[in-house]
Amino acid sequence: MAEIYGGGILPHQIRSSVCQSVNGLDIHYLEAGFENRNHPLIVLLHGFPELCFSWRKIMLPLSESGYHVVAPDQRGFGATAGADRSYSADLSKYSHINLAADILGLVLSLGYKKVKSVIGHDSGAGIAAWSALIRPDIYESVVMMSAPFTGPPSQSIETNNKSTFTGDKKIDINAELALLERPRKHYQHYYQTPEANYDIMNSEGGLSKFLRAYYHHKSADWEENNPFPLSHWDATELAQMPTYYIMDLDDTMPEAVAKYMPTCQEIQSCKWLTEPELQVYVSEYDRTGFQGGLNWYRSAASKANRQQLELFSGMKINVPAMFISGQQDWGTHQRPGAIDRMKNCVCTNIDEIQLVDNAGHWVQQEQPESVFKSLTAFLSKFG
């Protein structure tokens, strides 16, 4: 990665660094505005299948606005070393709380006691949200992108060796999806299987074609991305989403997105993800595989992770908060009611919900200028 970054992909004002021995990791990160450590710190957290490189388009503008901007490769991703990236990994290391501990450790190791804002995209939005909920003394604000945060789970109460769950009854959504006339499966269920990483790493045409198709299919460049709120959590409702979320039952993810591979003309006209930029992702994932990132899905779905998060049941995010997503991003609506719950129940001081037009799931890459303007306007509202 360092060689590619040094080859002109990133401006010289953005540098690559490593913070060693942080919660068992050597954390690789990109930073801008590092010349003045008196500037307030902003931390940017990427999602899947991405890297710290995904923030390249807004790091420099944020630093020029007076911030020290740090974007790490999170546990299991990119050049951050020390994580077990295998399917047999200890999933507790990938729990939401430990992932938040990784970021807090990085902040403290950099010498900061406060963070102006922790900003997360996709699965990184969840870690940003948990960080702000648990440590409001450190994180002065939070911005979530593309993935609404629905708060801690309801608590299970153990009495006389019996467990009482105080939340809604869980539905086996994959069983329901498989019974549809057109049998389907949820992408998160697929990502938890041992086959997922193998399927992707051995996809027909290689990683370059897979990643190009995946990023295109979930972007505003795919004209059929016209999301709308879903009424409730059942198979028929969820099946209205594209196949990158609700897959055909027998498809692998590479097979699902290959059907929507952009044309050569579409690739050439894609300004938000040029071929040299795509090759940064291809090179890193060819080296590391995807299992480290896929372990996030496995840990998130585990009983142990849920029980850990239940300790925070009923807690809310009280620091200033904001949500940004693409107008053409199904991520905003993939969990029915999530956006309303975040706005009305979980965040007590949420600024606004911003849906950026002509942006799909990769909003900070597809429309960086709009995202930058929204962020600086939000950050200027508090001291």
Per-residue pLDDT band for 2 (boundaries 50, 70, 90) equals very low
Sheet containing strand 350-356, strands side by side: 14-22, 25-32, 68-72, 41-45, 117-121, 142-145, 321-326, 350-356
90-102 mean pLDDT: 98
Domain boundary assignment for the chain? 2-158+312-379, 173-292
247-256 mean pLDDT: 98
Give the DSSP H/E element, type plus range, for residue 216.
helix 206-217
The CATH homologous superfamily of the domain defined by 2-158+312-379: Alpha/Beta hydrolase fold, catalytic domain (3.40.50.1820)
pLDDT of residue 315: 96
| Per-residue buried b or exposed e for 112-124, using 16+ beta carbons within 10 Å of the residue's own CB | beebbbbbbbbbb
Q: How far is CA 187 from the centre of its chain?
A: 15
Q: How many CA atoms lie within 13 A of 15 on its CB side?
A: 8
pLDDT > 80? residue 169: no
pLDDT of residue 8: 72
Report the DSSP pairing between strands 184-186 and 14-22.
unpaired
> Residue 352 region, left (φ>0) first, then alpha (ψ -120 to 50), else beta?
beta
281-309 mean pLDDT: 97
pLDDT of residue 157: 58
Cβ atoms < 10 Å from Cβ of 258? 18
pLDDT tens column, 320-337: 999 999 999 999 999 999
pLDDT > 60? residue 228: yes
pLDDT tens column, 77-87: 999 999 999 99
Cα(120)–Cα(137) distance, integer angstroms: 18
Cβ-contact 227, 330 below 8 angstroms? yes
Return the DSSP state at 115.
Answer: B
pLDDT tens column, 254-274: 999 999 999 999 999 999 999
Helix (H, G, I), strand (E, B) or coil at 327: coil
List, in order, residues 6 or more apart from 285 with CB less than 8 Å away: 49, 207, 211
pTM for the full predicted model: 0.95
